[in-house]
A and B are shown apart, each in its own frame.
Chain A
Amino acid sequence: MPISRDSVVAASAAETVMNSATPHGKANAAPEAALAVDVRQLHKQYGGRTVVDNLSFHIRAGECYGLLGPNGAGKTTTLRALLGLVPIDGGSVHVLGYNMRTQAQAARAHIGVVPQMDGLDPDFTVEENLLVFGRYFGLSDAQIRARIPELLDFAALTPKKSARINELSGGMKRRLTLARALVNDPDLIVLDEPTTGLDPQARHLVWERLRALLARGKTILLTTHFMDEAERLCERLGVVDHGRLVAEGEPRELIAQHLEPYVVEVYGEGAEAWLHANRACLPGRVEVAGETVFCYLDDPAPVVSQLHATPGLRYLQRPANLEDLFLRLTGRDMREEG
């Protein structure tokens, strides 16, 4: 596969970001064996269109890593390459020490996957779903049956063990999918948007379970659209756009590195007029999205007191967060579903 000059530049840019994002280069010096996932210069195209562009990242054993990016950024393709489910056009993918080009099936025996769509068997009960899935790993019925009570307990589904899938709520189905992903006692758990479509209670329960798994030493890779989810769970994040890694690091550090510490949002009817009148004397960066003005500031006090003195305006002062970072890195344009 010919490697274009563009992608070489992108790869070295991604490396620069990685190096600067890991303090003292400690992570890069980590021994090979401690890496649960090692993706190097991954390249994938569909019909001449590049969807993953020399993407490199690694995940240390026991770490929770989040892959963020707008729709169509290449996250799902990256996950599929990580599971050995797509032929790749360049680079290498190693998971738990297995080369995913040649040893994918052996590697998947040690991986648990929570796909975007649950894919539970509607003809089976909760318990049967776990039993049947365990057999796909070559486990004996006795081995699986011994694990089921613990899995049901973990997913808080013990009272529902004989229920059919269509009797479960969205949150229960998600928890069952998580329990199903643990049937083989995996070392790495891959979750594709684990809490999309769940209500806040259900999301908090899933987060709590994922933290429990981390406490047991499992490695977690997740993709998400929810920045609070990424910030709560992930020790490190990679932001992907157009198939490239555009930033990587610890959430707080990334924010500090790319953004001013404070954001003042001014919204409502008078916001635009206020911006026109005050643009010249605003000290930081300003962005407008819809009818909201975002002011990125090192010191919000002067702007806030000025706003306070302007009657009728609604505003909000807050620390910069991951969502600001995400929008900063990937832009405010709407993306097509992909």
Chain B
Amino acid sequence: MQGNWHWPRPTRLSLAVLRRNFLVWRKMAMATILGDVLDPMVVLLALGFGLGKLLPAVEGVPYITFLSAGSICMGALYGATFEATYSAFSRLQVQRTWESMLNTPLSLDDILWAEVWWATLKALKSGVAILFIVYLFNISRAPALVFIPLVLAVAGLTFSAMALVITSLARGYDFFMYYFTLVVTPMVFLSGVFFPMNQLPAALAAAVQWLPMAPAIGLVRPLVLGEMPPGAGWAVLQLLVTGALAVWLAAVLLRRRLLR
């Protein structure tokens, strides 16, 4: 055993943890699909068609087209965040699933990575479901849409790892309210989901840019419009660096919590 500070390295066994979560999900897929997919879909269609009627074109495109990029990212954010907070906490604290796993050859690094990947898959699933709506309702059928799942995989990993940092600190479900109220909700409302970020005071916009939602939308929105995103490399790098820092921090905090 080697201190708390090293980078978490998974083994092949972590796939067994991923399969466990998948088996649970398969048993209640309908309920979770309703929650993860229907919510952002209703927001997109109601606001897009309803509010969109009242608005002139936003950034030169119909409002629902503008909103769809944000909705896809928002779906990914909520898909990852709910999984990596409430559900992961159940496994950590309430059901003691991770504790049982640690009595096997699985390491905490295996469990952490499996949880990151699993929540990333949930993010992908939610984001892609909305992408499907975008295609189905002919909001966009640009060939560039095929790149969106790649963006969602990277952004989803970052959202998942951030949520796992919070979970590793949580003592009860109530704790997640702080995260949702102080981070998730402001991030959704200020990162350009519903209106362009240039409507914000410059200082606020600059601050929000550091959170991962802004670069994610910065990548997805041009793709919805059929364009290659400008500065894509930097946006992806920002997401990856944020995600890596969060994975590492979650690993350190979880070791302090479970292996002491």
Which A residues form the contact surface with B (CB < 8 A)?
Answer: 46, 83-87, 101-102, 104-106, 108-109, 111, 113, 115, 117, 119-124, 128, 132-133, 135-138, 184
Task: Output the nearest chain A residue to B1 by Cβ-Cβ distance.
Answer: A87
Docked complex Cα distance between A85 and B96 (Å)? 15
- Interchain CA distance A83-B19 in the complex, whole Å: 25
Q: Which of B23, B27, B107 touches A105 (beta carbons < 8 Å)?
A: B107
Known: A121-B95, A124-B23, A132-B23. A85 touches B12 (CB 8 A): no
In whole angstroms, how far apart are the Cα atoms of A87 and B104 in the complex? Answer: 17
Chain B interfacial residues counted at CB < 8 A? 27
> A86–B260 contact, CB under 8 A?
yes
Chain B residues within 8 Å of A124, by CB: 23-24
Q: Which residues of A contact B106 (CB under 8 A)?
A: 105, 136
CA distance A144 to B12 in the complex (A): 18
The reply on B43 being an interface residue by CB < 8 A is no
Closest to A102 in B: B1
Q: How far is the CB of A116 from chain B (nearest CB, A)?
A: 10
Question: Contact at B1–A136, with CB atoms within 8 Å?
Answer: no
Q: Is the CB of A136 within 8 A of B97?
A: no
Residues of chain B at the chain A interface (Cβ within 8 Å)? 1, 3, 12-13, 16-17, 19-20, 23-24, 27-28, 95-97, 99-107, 258-260
Asked whether A122 and B100 contact (CB < 8 A) given A84-B1, A101-B1, A105-B105, the answer is no
Q: In the bound complex, what is the Cα–Cα distance between A84 and B2 (angstroms)?
A: 11
B20 touches A106 (CB 8 A): no
Which among A101, A121, A123, A137 is the interface contact of B104 at CB below 8 angstroms?
A137
Question: Chain A's nearest CB lies how many Å from the CB of B122?
Answer: 16
Task: Please judge, given known A-B contacts A106-B105, A108-B105, A136-B105, whether A117 and B96 are in contact too, CB under 8 Å.
Answer: yes
Alpha-carbon distance A180/B84, docked complex (angstroms)? 27
Report chain B residues within 8 Å CB of A117. Answer: 96, 99
Residues in B neighbouring A83, C-beta threshold 8 A: 102-103
Task: State whether A133 touches B104 (Cβ < 8 A).
Answer: yes
> Are B259 and A119 in contact (CB-based, < 8 A)?
no
Asked if A109 contacts B102 (CB within 8 A), the reply is no
Q: In the complex, A105 Cα to B1 Cα: how many Å?
A: 10
Chain A residues positioned under 8 Å from B24 (CB to CB): 121, 123-124
User: How far apart are A222's CB and chain B's nearest CB, in angstroms?
Assistant: 15
- Min C-beta distance of A174 to chain B, whole Å: 14
- CB distance A119 to B105 under 8 Å? no
Contact (Cβ within 8 A) A119 B95:
yes
Chain B residues within 8 Å of A111, by CB = 103
| Chain A positions within 8 Å of B100 at CB level | 115, 119-120, 133
Chain A residue at smallest Cβ distance from B4: A87
Q: Complex Cα distance A184/B16, Å?
A: 15
Q: Separation in Å of the B87 CB from the closest CB of chain A? A: 11
Could you give 28 example pairs across A and B, Cβ below 8 Å? A83-B102, A83-B103, A85-B102, A85-B259, A87-B1, A87-B259, A87-B260, A104-B1, A106-B105, A108-B103, A109-B104, A109-B105, A113-B103, A115-B100, A117-B99, A119-B95, A119-B97, A119-B99, A122-B95, A123-B28, A124-B23, A124-B24, A132-B23, A133-B104, A135-B16, A136-B106, A137-B105, A184-B104
Contact B105 A135 (CB under 8 A): no
Q: Which residues of B contact A108 (CB under 8 A)?
A: 103-105
By a CB distance below 8 angstroms, the chain B residues around A121 are 20, 24, 95, 97
Q: Are A115 and B104 in contact (CB-based, < 8 A)?
A: no
Per the bound structure, the CA–CA distance linking A268 and B98 in Å amounts to: 49
The reply to whether A138 and B20 form a contact with Cβ atoms under 8 Å apart is: no
Whether the Cβ atoms of B105 and A138 lie closer than 8 Å is yes
Minimum Cβ distance to chain A for residue B258 (Å): 8
How far is A249 from B107 in the complex, measured between Cα atoms in Å? 35
Complex partner residue of A136 from B3, B101, B259, CB under 8 angstroms: B101
Residue in A closest to B104 when the chains form the complex, CB atoms: A136
When C-beta atoms are compared, the residue in chain A nearest to B111 turns out to be A136
Among B12, B103, B258, point to the contact of A138 (Cβ < 8 A). Answer: B12
Nearest residue, chain B, Cβ from A113: B103
Q: Report which of A46, A104, A120 forms a contact with B260, defined as CB distance below 8 A.
A: A46
Chain B minimum-CB-distance residue to A100 = B1
Are A132 and B20 also in contact (CB < 8 A) when A108-B104, A119-B95, A137-B105 are? Answer: yes
